A = this chain, B = another copy of it.
Amino acid sequence: MTLDAVLSRIDADLPAATDRLLDLLRIPSISTDPAYKADCDRAADWLVADLQSLGATAEKRPTPGHPMVVGHIGEGAPHLLFYGHYDVQPVDPLELWDRDPFDPEIQEGPKGKVIRGRGSSDDKGQLMTFVEACRAWIAENGALPCRITFFFEGEEESGSPSLIPFMKENADELKTDIALICDTGLFGDSTPAIVTMLRGLLGEELTITAASKDLHSGMYGGPAMNPIRVLSRIITGLHDETGRITVPGFYDGVPELSDEMRAQWQGLNFDHAGFLGEVGLSVPAGEQDRTPLEMIWSRPTCEVNGIKGGYTGEGFKTVLPSKASAKISFRLVGQQDPHEIRKNFRAYVESQLPADCKVAWHGHGASPAGQMQIDHPAFEAARQALSDEWPNPAAYVGCGGSIPIAGYFKTILDTDAMLIGFGKDDDQIHSPNEKYDLSSFHRGIRSWARILDALT
């Protein structure tokens, strides 16, 4: 049988596939930092060459930011699109890494071998699971079972500024029967998952200015307004004592979880204590009347992702600074409108400013939440294929993160998207010492081979 031969080849080819991934991980393609622009370009070139080695027509396509990679291969129905991103998160604080984040290696972990390095899980390792499945299929059968379009982005970790214009300009080329997105995780260690709900994301950066220059806190401390204190008060006021967000109109469009969905999620027996304990916590923060799983999958949040002001170097400086700034993000659900929330948030902050203070804004992307169309027949076919590969049957789940492209496939291309990934909660994505289990990589490749078989 075709599938069995492909799966055997995947098993035999795993060491070579791992070497290819390590090669890609060595490229420090940090999209948010302009210093790494050439490296992002280099990662795109690497992928173009790799797709061409499969026999695909592939090319790097320019954008105002980092390039897209688009490739085409195969014939016949259905026409599938596969999306992944080749850019990675910054690596600071660098001192918390056990090794150079861009000198990846295979390590023995407590639960088996892991691929250690920035981007191993988010998203280069995941991206390569599908490419390797195609490689094995072609090697065994000479050709893929259907037509496939590869679509790789290099700005996912920095708000995807070029994505919507690119999708609109290339809509005819990118419109397919279904889009496969590999940027999510398993549920636990052995339950594959198809994400059916994704949170949206609104990013805002604000800088509050008081005096026209930095002052001496001895000379001006007291009568001069301190922008760090103003910013702290604004941040503090963004949540009430029950953990609810105070921006006017913020909860417009937030749906209450249905009893059926709540029951299904309870059936997953999520280990709330273990989830918090894994990162040194024991008491859930956030809204008082919600479980952690409910908060992450179905509730909106407001978090401060960074703050700075005044002197933060070694030693002490008695400065009363002129400015203080923060990066604040909102995770959105249901029908929450990111543009409306941006407007209300800015008005709310401006209404809180004391005399002599002003605020400057820098928006960092605004994407609504996503809801997948699970009545599309590909969902049940994929769920069955995943259940065949893994110890436990596949589950439909929510996702706390934001993968705005899922919504764009629907709104721009009228293509339904299916989110399947093999990351684990302890992969430390966006953190020091990111890893991807070798078993995620291996079973991930096998899973895509099974899904290709099931969809054709």
**Residues of chain A whose beta carbon lies under 8 Å from any beta carbon of chain B:** 31-34, 89-90, 92-93, 96, 157-159, 199, 201, 203, 205, 210-226, 228-229, 231-233, 235-236, 239, 275-276, 279-287, 290, 292, 295-296, 299, 301, 303-321, 324-327, 329, 331, 354-356, 364-365, 399-402, 425, 428-432
Contact = CB atoms under 8 A, between A and B. Distances in A.
A13 to B, nearest CB: 31
Most buried by B among A93, A215, A232, A292: A232
Contact of A400 (B218, B295, B430): B218
B213 A279 contact: yes
A124 B432 CA distance: 45
25 contacts: A34-B314, A158-B315, A159-B316, A201-B318, A214-B432, A217-B331, A219-B296, A221-B331, A223-B296, A225-B285, A228-B304, A228-B326, A229-B236, A229-B239, A231-B232, A232-B235, A282-B356, A285-B354, A304-B309, A305-B311, A305-B316, A311-B327, A312-B325, A317-B327, A317-B430
A125 to B, nearest CB: 16
B284 A223 contact: yes
A138 to B, nearest CB: 35
Nearest to A295: B222
A296 B222 contact: yes
Given A90-B313, A219-B401, A214 B331 contact: no
Contact of A304 (B31, B34, B232): B232
Contacts of A223: 275-276, 284-286, 292, 295-296
Given A222-B299, A224-B276, A285-B354, A431 B216 contact: yes
Contacts of A401: 216, 218-219
